[in-house]
Amino acid sequence: MIVRTRAWLVPVFFQLLLPAWVSAEEQHERPSCRVCGMYIDQYRKSAAELVFKDGQKQYTCGVACMLREINDAGGMSAFESVKVHDWVSGKLIDAEEATYVLGSRVIPDMVPNYIAFADRGEAEAFAAKEGGDVIDFTAAYADISPVGTTAPFRIRTAVTPGKGNFSVGMVYGYTQKDRIKIGSNSVEPGEFIGGNSAQPRAPKQFEGHQQAVIVNYSPTDNLALFANVPWFERRTRTLNQTAGGITETVGEENGIGDITLEGRYNFWRNTRWNKFVTVLLGTTLPTGQFSANRAPTLGRNLISTGPALQLGKDTATFTGGLLYSQRWKNFWLHTSALYTVNPENDEHYAFGDAATVGLALHYTPNYDLMLGIEMDASYTEKSEDQGFRIGNSDGTVTNLAFVGDWRFLNAFGGNFKLRGSVGLPIYEDLNHSDAVNPRGQPFQQVQLGDGFFANLAVQWTFRAAPEFH
């Protein structure tokens, strides 16, 4: 039975996870950043004040969000005044007259980390100690992007968002495969099995539903941690050929999958905060069920529950690789190169190791919206069962996806985003294996491919303000 995630659970889920000390009345009374939603009273050293021509007053947590607000409003002409806090004295000063340090080791609010100074000499002294470039308002405004960073769906960003950043989300994903792949050729399953009387069976369709809780946390400015706790609902349809004709059987498995844990360490970024190189290390915990019941089939011992229905790998896996991200004003580029090792489990079964590369290009027309296109390609080696290499278990897949996210609400000292993607494999070359039935007649063991995938997520992001003395 497939259990659907109820829409009303989403707000309840987030309400339970948000800090208990924040009451509804406090949410209404505490001024928050116009752009990201963070509470202004946590960012007194960096907060900015913007007064529109009609007298309406807005606040941002820092200079980066202030510049985004000015850009979104069409420039300084929309404001009566714009003021920032001097880092040294804490006094409000005119934003256009201030001097800024960009890209220092100090991150007081959002990224990129602009810090304002009333006196240029003090800005230069700060940069000499903490690093960064000393620039004026014009250079800062010309350099700012609508969004500090973007997050790809199928790969990871090299940008670490700063100490204290925390996000939690709920994800729903759907995958469907419905064509038999023989190399790069696609065949309709009914046509495939009907064209060979010796073919005992053939996969017809795979459907996968995934619901997951995801958590991101940055304990330092350079380190970001990630956890994914999935729940899988999987169904396969198989065509079986007997003397009586072709019949269909359905297999189902539901349950928790393997928990993913990842760490990203940003070991290099430039002072303009538009180029990043990061190492990723990850593992999975064997929390998902793996069925090792084997049934003799055509002279070999095979897993009775096929790999597509396994909820876990019954062993820890290990992933490592490099990430690179770069920004050009309103565009973000993300790339990745990763390798995953899948050791043999206690049941003497090993899923094939996988090498994956990814590429994403995102466009951010304003601070509430991102649109993008992503591509990933992977090569998976053959799986092994009791030392036997399974001939139809490896191959190459290249996927193309269209993605987007929409920041639709600022609340609880942070912001909510609705994220989505839809895509399909644009190239597949999946291996098949020749075999013979008990009568000595040849047939083929094959894999499913083609189809499509889609994801939808709701995510809340918050950053606890660091303490500066």
pLDDT for 210 equals 97
pLDDT for 6 equals 40
Residue type, position 322, single letter: L
C-alpha to C-alpha distance for 273 and 140, rounded to whole angstroms: 12
pLDDT for 11 equals 45
Give pLDDT tens digits for 21-68: 444 444 457 899 989 999 999 998 999 999 999 999 999 999 999 999
63-102 burial, b if ≥16 CB within 10 A, otherwise e? bbbbbbbbbbeeeeeebeebbbbbbeeeebbebeebbbbb
pLDDT for 383 equals 94
pLDDT for 192 equals 93
Which residues of the chain are modeled with pLDDT < 50?
A: 1-27, 298-299
- Return the biggest CA–CA distance within the chain: 90
**Which residue, chain included where needed, has tokens 């004003």?**
329
Cα dist from 296 to 75, 321, 435, whole Å: 73, 39, 15
